[in-house]
Amino acid sequence: MKVAINSCTWGGYAHFKKTPLTAEHFFAEAAAAGYAGVEVGGGKDFLGKPADCLALASRHGLEIAAYGTSVTYNPWKPNTIAYRADIDYAAELGVKMLMVCGGFMPVARRNTYDFDYDMFAGNLGALIAYAAKRGIVAAFHPHRGCIVETTEEAAKMVKRLKALKFCVDTAHLEGAGSDALKFIRTFCKRCVYAHVKDFRWDTGAFTELGKGKSKLNVAACVAELRKMGTVEWICVELDKNFDGENPRTPLESAKISRRYLKSKCGLQ
């Protein structure tokens, strides 16, 4: 199993500091923190042409582990155009794994109904089919705030999409009140990619690996994923809100999580 990191922390930090973020800066610090690969997104606006992105990765000794995109809850033509462009870009990179977030409802409400899952399954299914045509596996990411947050809601999607694959996110599951280890065991043959981070119930915030305050045991989750053998890459991700006068930099944060994976999970 190989370890990657994505640019969420760098993007959030750049927004906090009101400074631009370049792919060069992200790739350089990902390599400096000891990662073997990166999860990327943003297309040519952030990464340049596919050949330029591959050259940048090679220059820093990195692989492209996955490409990230999003899908709307309901069929919406601009989103279809956007995710197809992302898939086409990923195919040019030679990436075989697509991390897919989505299912955020355009009108906030507490309840969801069968027709919500029917509609989302239709839209997500179209994305999965398009990715498959380009030789890419789409791994759907249950995410706080969307209509698929929990193990039970993921099961509703599996009923509608028989070949559905998952990107497990340890802290999003914990933050939604689901047991991440149970999720992995329940959908063991469907888990093909993973985001790993920790969670604090005292603040309701995501945090670096080993810095959590919850029942989440990331090391046990990683051990289970390794035992399953269906996940080639796990990806450190920290989609957090920055505040205070002197928060950790993305590089500092990335090093903390990388040390945890080495010391607690044996991922060198």
Reported as a single tens digit per residue, the pLDDT across 107-126 is 888 899 999 999 999 999 99
Q: Tell me the CA distances in angstroms from 84 to 76, 80, 133, 209, 255, one per residue in order.
A: 12, 6, 11, 33, 34
Is pLDDT above 90 for 242?
no
Q: Are strands 205-207 and 198-200 parallel, antiparallel or unpaired?
A: antiparallel
Give the model confidence (pLDDT) of 138-159 as tens digits: 999 999 999 999 999 999 999 9
Q: Which whole-number Å values give the CA distances from 109 to 24, 105, 150, in the listed order?
A: 40, 8, 17
| Token couple for 98 | 């697509």
In DSSP terms, 194 is beta-bridged to 168, 234
Q: Give 75-101 pLDDT, tens digit per residue.
A: 999 999 999 999 999 999 999 999 999
Q: Distance of alpha carbon 154 from its chain centroid, rounded?
A: 16
> Has residue 244 got a pLDDT over 80?
no
Distances (CA, A) of 198 to 127, 143, 212, 238: 29, 14, 5, 9
pLDDT attached to residue 6: 98
Q: How far apart are CA 241 and CA 118, in angstroms?
A: 32
Residue 64: strand, helix, or coil? strand
The pairing of strands 205-207 and 191-196 is unpaired
What ranges do the domains of the chain cover? Answer: 2-265
Residues 6+ apart with CB under 8 A from 154: 142, 148, 166, 183, 187
pLDDT at 245: 73
Specify the CATH number of the domain 2-265: 3.20.20.150
- pTM tops 0.95: yes
pLDDT tens, residue by residue, 30-71: 999 999 999 999 999 999 999 999 999 999 999 999 999 999
Question: Alpha-carbon distance 173 to 17, whole Å?
Answer: 29
